[in-house]
Amino acid sequence: SQQGEEDPQALSIQEGENATMNCSYKTSINNLQWYRQNSGRGLVHLILIRSNEREKHSGRLRVTLDTSKKSSSLLITASRAADTASYFCSWRNQGGKLIFGQGTELSVKP
């Protein structure tokens, strides 16, 4: 399968805690993106990190990228109940097609 791995598959935390999700991919990439999906709806783009960047921030989101390990992580700080969703990493394979990981289902309890 071209899909990468994301872990954990599911994560349950309390409001105010931090949530960390990890993604591993299989090919060389120019950039990697993270998307969020609320309960069977469309995906919403969160953040893009380029292959020459190691870390990027956007509000409460922090993304890291380690191209030597072909891995990325998404950290959500001070989580809120509204952060409850599935989170997917994605990248373009060598054929230019956008590939998605299998996702992490995050549940933030009030």
Partner 1 sequence: ETGVTQSPTHLIKTRGQQVTLRCSSQSGHNTVSWYQQALGQGPQFIFQYYREEENGRGNFPPRFSGLQFPNYSSELNVNALELDDSALYLCASSLYDKNIQYFGAGTRLSVL
Which positions lie near partner 1, rule CB under 8 A? 3, 31, 33, 35, 40-45, 48, 88, 90, 92, 95-103
What is residue 83's three-state secondary structure?
helix
Rounded distance between C-alpha atoms, residue 6 and residue 78, angstroms: 21
Rounded distance between C-alpha atoms, residue 8 and residue 92, angstroms: 22
Residue placing its CB nearer to partner 1 in the complex, 23 or 108: 23
Distance in Å, CB of 48 to partner 1, minimum? 6
Please name the amino acid found at residue 27.
Answer: T
Distance in Å, CB of 32 to partner 1, minimum? 10
Distance in Å, CB of 90 to partner 1, minimum? 8
Residue placing its CB nearer to partner 1 in the complex, 39 or 110: 39
Rounded distance between C-alpha atoms, residue 53 and residue 8, angstroms: 24
